[in-house]
């Protein structure tokens, strides 16, 4: 293959076969994937990404359609265990597989429907909006801790502790366990990264085992002494007489803990970085509740924390744009690429909370639409407004760099001064 003259220098593309060769660890791509996305929108919005081994779709309409297409799903045909077995020897991943096999994120109806209905009922019963005063209070407490210093790395001091504290409080597990929960979560999430190693897998399995043991002890305690926390509600939640099994309960709690902070941490950092790049008084983005909500939606579109979501084909399917996939094959849906589609957004590279075409693919769509989207939006609205209201003179102290963790897109650090 030869690189197109208009292509970024770190990729190769065969236009006849629509085959892309691009190492997702390539530094230029890690720091600015949007350069490649813009080129793909002009060149080929559908392509076979050789480094992953499957067809990818980057157009907004295609991504939205395929997320909702029930001929595709998250669950490997034949079930998670069948997919795990097909990937080779996995004795060293027994604990990780036990958690994932019961995760609603990796399941399809009817099991997914039952799990999501039970979990969503317990989740919604918390009435997420009622958490706004607590989140605002927590955000102010965090700013209080570093305001006098004049500079701080916002990721460990603000972006990370807020969502993990909120989800720990919601579930009813000790907030002081936050750092340990983060470590377990990071080790498990690393399994989804491109090019994982045996060490990555061993760390993920150890984390899954420890995480599960920790939660089982709290489930046993909540069974004896239920409270008004989410863990107690999950234990008692039922639909048509069906309750969560203990394995399902543990997997659901781990999913909520992991999903309840991982993406929000990245999105908070990405949002602050994007807002600081704008001229003028940044407080204008948070002048009213409507402005705050619109700003958060634009942050979600402009620099999303999750760039790729995959689906398995459940038959021989014409997926679109002339691409036919066979049963069991994966497709990659490029959420962040879709969010910059010039056919869906006017001036997609411009940060504009007031845009009339405001929408995004960042939470997915269809039956796997992010169950924690209302909480994530609330956390972002409250934390960003408090930060910029409290520190209106905030500026970057160092040029931030993104972590080499495609398809989870987040900063290594976010050092600011004020």
pLDDT tens by residue, 142-188: 999 999 999 999 999 999 999 999 999 998 999 999 889 989 999 99
Torsion angles phi and psi, residue 377, rounded to 5:
-60, -45
Q: For residue range 220-257, what is the model confidence (pLDDT) as tens digits?
A: 999 999 998 888 988 887 766 778 899 999 999 999 88
Q: What is the pLDDT of residue 4?
A: 44
Here the tokens at position 193 are: 């990264």
The b-or-e profile of 37-59 (16+ CB within 10 A means b, else e) is bbbbbebbbbbbbeebebbbbbb
Sheet holding 415-417, edge to edge: 151-153, 415-417, 395-396
Q: For residue range 174-186, what is the model confidence (pLDDT) as tens digits?
A: 999 988 998 999 9
Band (pLDDT 50/70/90 cuts) for residue 5 is low
Alpha helices in 59-157 (DSSP H): 60-68, 80-86, 94-100, 111-124, 132-146, 154
Tell me how far apart the alpha carbons of residues 396 and 356 are, in angstroms, rounded to a whole number: 30
Q: For residue range 332-390, what is the model confidence (pLDDT) as tens digits?
A: 999 999 999 999 999 999 999 999 999 999 999 999 999 989 899 999 999 999 999 99
Using alpha carbons only, what angle is made at residue 305 by residues 302 and 308, rounded to the nearest 5 degrees? 100
Band (pLDDT 50/70/90 cuts) for residue 126 is low
Length of the chain: 418
Band (pLDDT 50/70/90 cuts) for residue 3 is very low
Alpha helices in 3-93 (DSSP H): 27-31, 33-43, 60-68, 80-86
CATH of 88-303+365-417, one of 2.60.40.1080, 1.10.630.10, 3.90.550.10, 1.10.275.10: 1.10.630.10
Q: What is the dihedral of CA 353, 358, 365, 115, to 10 degrees?
A: 50
What is the model's pTM?
0.93
Q: For residue range 53-68, what is the model confidence (pLDDT) as tens digits?
A: 999 999 999 999 999 9
Band (pLDDT 50/70/90 cuts) for residue 192 is confident
> Which long-range contacts (C-beta less than 8 Å, at least 24 apart) are formed by 240-245?
242/114, 242/118, 243/118, 244/115, 244/118, 244/119, 245/102
Task: Tell me if 270 sits within 8 A of 411, measured CB to CB.
Answer: yes
């Amino acid at each position: 293959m030869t690189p197109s003259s208009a292509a970024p220098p770190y990729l190769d593309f065969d236009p006849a076969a629509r085959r892309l060769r691009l190492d997702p660890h390539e530094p230029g791509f890690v720091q600015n994937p949007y350069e490649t996305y813009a080129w793909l929108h002009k060149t080929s919005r559908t392509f076979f990404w050789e480094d992953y081994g499957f067809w990818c779709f980057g157009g907004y309409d295609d991504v939205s359609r395929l997320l909702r297409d029930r001929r595709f799903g998250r669950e490997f045909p034949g079930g998670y265990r069948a997919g795990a077995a097909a990937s080779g020897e996995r004795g060293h991943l027994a604990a990780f597989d036990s958690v994932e096999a019961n995760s609603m994120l990796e399941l399809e109806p009817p099991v997914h429907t039952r799990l999501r209905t039970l979990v969503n009922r317990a989740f919604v019963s918390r009435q997420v909006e009622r958490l706004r005063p607590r989140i605002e209070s927590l955000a102010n407490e965090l700013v209080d801790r570093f305001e006098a210093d004049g500079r701080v790395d916002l990721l460990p001091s603000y972006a990370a502790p807020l969502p993990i504290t909120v989800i720990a409080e919601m579930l009813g597990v000790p907030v002081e366990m936050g750092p340990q929960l983060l470590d377990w979560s990071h080790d498990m999430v690393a399994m989804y990264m491109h090019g994982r190693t045996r060490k990555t897998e061993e760390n993920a399995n150890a984390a899954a085992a420890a995480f599960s043991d920790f939660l089982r002890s709290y489930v046993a305690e909540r069974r004896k002494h239920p409270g008004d926390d989410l863990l107690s509600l999950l234990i008692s939640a039922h639909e048509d007489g069906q309750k969560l099994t203990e394995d399902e309960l543990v997997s659901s709690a781990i999913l909520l803990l992991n999903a309840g902070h991982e993406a929000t941490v990245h999105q908070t950092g990405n949002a602050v970085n994007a807002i600081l790049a704008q001229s003028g008084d940044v407080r204008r983005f948070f002048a009213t509740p409507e402005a705050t909500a619109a700003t958060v939606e634009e942050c979600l579109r402009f620099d999303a924390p999750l760039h790729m979501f995959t689906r398995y084909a459940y038959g021989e399917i014409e997926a679109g744009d002339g691409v036919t996939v066979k049963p069991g094959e994966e497709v990659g849906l490029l959420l962040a690429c879709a969010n910059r589609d010039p056919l869906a957004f006017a001036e997609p590279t411009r940060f504009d909370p007031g845009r009339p075409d405001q929408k995004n693919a960042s939470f997915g769509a269809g039956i796997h639409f992010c169950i924690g989207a209302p909480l994530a939006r609330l956390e972002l609205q409250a934390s960003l407004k408090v930060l910029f209201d409290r520190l209106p003179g905030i500026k970057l102290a160092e040029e931030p760099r993104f972590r080499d963790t495609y398809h989870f897109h987040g900063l290594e650090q976010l050092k600011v001064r004020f």
